[in-house]
Amino acid sequence: MSFLKQNKDVDALVAVMKSRLSEARDKHALYALLTPALSFKGPVKYNNTPLWVVALVGITIAAINAANQRNLRFNGHQELVTTLWVLATLATLIPLGWIAWRSRRLKGLSDAIWQKNLLLDNQLAPVPCDGAKEAKALGQRFYDFRRGNHRRSIDALYKGHYQGEQHSFDYRVFHFHYVDKHTHTSTDSKGRTTTRTSYSHYHRYGLLLDFGYARNIAILGNGSSGHKGSRWEPASLDFRKCFKVLTDDEMAAARFLKPAVVEALTTLGAQFRRANLELNADGALCLSVSDNDLVSLPRPLGLEAPQAFLALLKEDTPLPKLRQLLKEVHLLLVHSDNNF
Amino acid sequence: MNFNILIWNQYLRSAAPNDCAKPLKLIKSCPDTFQGRNYHVRCISGYRGVGAGHPILIHNAIIGRFNASRRAWGDVIAQERQKNEILPALEKVAKDYASHEQGLMEKVTALRGALAGLSGEHIDTRQLAEAEQHMGELLSRLNLTVEAYPDLKATDTYGKLMHEITEQQQNVGAAIRIFNRNVERFNTGIEVFPNSFINRLFTHKKPLDTFDDSQAAAGIEFKPKF
């Protein structure tokens, strides 16, 4: 029964690594985390052979039952047919479900290690928060968090620090998840009314920071969610295609949207999906986009190849889109400050 | 070219009744209950409206792009004038570090004169080219001053000055690129068919020339035909 031992060992390995992962605070702790996987005898994966056999038996029973059910029913064995169907279904679905759960467990651990590595490589630290409360608090500061008529939550929040040539600033990266509820009522030819409810899920990712050099300006590439102000347009026709500017002070908007800023934002609008910039009354900036790879990247390897995975973790893995957004923010600061 | 015929043919090719709501969204809705000849009459009248309005839309779009190009040119001049902000700091550097050298102060004075000559109302790009030329000469002179006085590089004033100059040059460059892009879109907007036809008939706008920064550096005269 070597497969039992192997699966037990993998279970123990996953449990140990999961507990250590939550305690890992730096890269070295992350490398040390992989030590048990490196010294693991055999491949770091579950042996699912017995489960596949059971599932195959279940499929065989189902096939035989399907072929013979007419004869069995004709001979008065209705209960036997039903019993065989139940047995076949259970014998097929339970092992397959178990295999899927095991696969997800290992993949989930690899994903968690990879995500931790990305955060450490990009000097980001998770900020524990209550998603719904945080979304509500941000909704009081920014119109951009007032989207969704059903549910709003901050699914992930990280804090970081950017050191540019001229400016440095603390920032937070967020993953905002909001849900729109739609109710459709239809009446058929007989006058019967049916109501159907559907939910649309949306995700926004972005940066929050204290900007300070401009206030009450919204540069919208993702439509308004209650943003107020009069419309202002810079000279650039390309910019006008990407964004709509709302402000309560046109002079402030004109000062903020210098040609270099307009050009940079036009480029940003082309490279990111549905970008929105909102400077609130306190001078805080919320820059949000729909790109879901702002704080994540696809994982090329996992625990199935621990040696190669460790080598991958030891490499510096930048988050290019996040760095680009931070560079854009730095450019905004450079062009908004007063050098004298 | 008869737009009514064009759009009518397009309508005949379209199948669904709801398609009558598509052209430029001028017809808000065609209820499903609207059947038969009345429906077609309604759609035809809608398309006639579109056909009559189409030249007006083209004319307005050409005017809009022309005005955006003019405004972009105004931004170029406005950014160039921002250089007035750095002149006091440059004079301070000239007094503190190069008081016995008249070169830097002369360049500052020449740039101030060139900036004063810039006009937003009367577009004279020779003046812009001249101002850019003076700016280039001033920066060269400033570099010579820094080489002669290494202490200058470490001063707060010099650091701020260089940041300001860099930002201003970035903004001038960006303003010129935005102007060129607007001109490109304006020119395309009056050259493609049927816009060229409408322009020849009603709008009477001529293509504009883009501004090449190297032309300014070389002192070649450039005049957008506003």
Per-residue pLDDT tens over the stretch A199-213? 999 999 999 999 988
Q: Is B89 on the interface with A (CB under 8 A)?
A: yes
Q: Is the pLDDT of residue B4 over 70?
A: no
Q: Is the pLDDT of residue A122 over 90?
A: yes
Determine, for residues A237 and B68 on separate chains, whether the beta-carbon distance falls below 8 Å.
yes
Among partner residues A166, A259, A339, which is closest to B174 by beta-carbon distance? A259
Q: Which residues share a beta bridge with A206? A: A174, A288
As given in the structure block, the two tokens for residue A255 are 């000062």
* B46, part of any domain: no
* B75, part of any domain: yes
* B138, part of any domain: yes
**Maximum mean pLDDT: which of B19-28, B54-63, B116-125:** B54-63
Q: Which of residues 47-76 of B touch A (CB under 8 A)?
A: 65, 68, 71-72, 74-75
Among partner residues B170, B173, B182, which is closest to A237 by beta-carbon distance? B182
Q: Is the pLDDT of residue A251 over 80?
A: yes
CA distance A191 to A219: 47
pLDDT at A32: 83
> Helix, strand, or coil here: A194?
strand
Measure A237 CA to nearest chain B CA, in Å. 6
Rg (CA), chain B: 28
Determine, for residues B79 and A238 on separate chains, whether the beta-carbon distance falls below 8 Å.
no
* B92, part of any domain: yes
Sheet strands side by side (includes A168-187) = A125-126, A151-163, A168-187, A193-210, A284-289, A276-279, A217-220, A244-247, A230-232
Residue A98, CB-side half-sphere exposure with 13 Å CA sphere: 17
CATH assignment of the domain containing B108: 1.20.1440.20
pLDDT at B213: 55
* B153, part of any domain: yes
pLDDT at B49: 53
Q: Is the pLDDT of residue B7 over 50?
A: no
pLDDT at B13: 41
CA distance B149 to B226: 47
% residues pLDDT > 90 (chain B): 0
Q: What is the mean pLDDT of residues B86-105?
A: 72
Angle, CA A40 vertex, CA A37 and CA A41 arms, to 5°: 155
* B124, part of any domain: yes
pLDDT band at B91 (very low <50, low <70, confident <90, very high): confident
In eight-state DSSP terms, residue A144 is G
Tens digits of residue pLDDT in A55-68: 898 999 888 888 88
Contacts of A258 in chain B (CB under 8 A): 79, 171, 174
A227, A218 contact by CB (below 8 A): yes
pLDDT at B157: 74
% residues pLDDT > 70 (chain A): 99
Number of domains into which chain B is organized: 1
In eight-state DSSP terms, residue B203 is I
- The owner of tokens 């849900």 is A179
Identify which has the larger pLDDT, B34 or A339.
A339
- Count CB neighbours of B39 within 10 A: 16
Determine, for residues A340 and B85 on separate chains, whether the beta-carbon distance falls below 8 Å.
yes
Weakest mean pLDDT among A34-38, A69-73, B212-216: B212-216
Q: What is the mean pLDDT of residues B69-86?
A: 82
Contacts of A240 in chain B (CB under 8 A): 68
As given in the structure block, the two tokens for residue B211 are 């501004």
Q: Is the pLDDT of residue B196 over 70?
A: yes
Identify which has the larger pLDDT, A267 or B162.
A267
Identify which has the larger pLDDT, A148 or B100.
A148
Identify which has the larger pLDDT, A278 or A70.
A278
Q: Is B179 on the interface with A (CB under 8 A)?
A: yes
* B213, part of any domain: no
pLDDT at B122: 57
Identify which has the larger pLDDT, A102 or B4.
A102
Q: How far lies A304's CA from each of A44, A45, A106, A151, in Å? A: 5, 7, 9, 38
Residue range(s) defining the domain that contains residue B70: 56-206
Determine, for residues B171 and A166 on separate chains, whether the beta-carbon distance falls below 8 Å.
no
pTM of the model: 0.77
**Summary mean pLDDT of chain B:** 69
Identify which has the larger pLDDT, B104 or B218.
B104
* B122, part of any domain: yes
Instruction: Determine the residue of chain A that is closest to B68 in CA distance.
Output: A235
Measure B23 CA to nearest chain A CA, in Å. 21
Among partner residues A259, A339, A340, which is closest to B75 by beta-carbon distance? A259
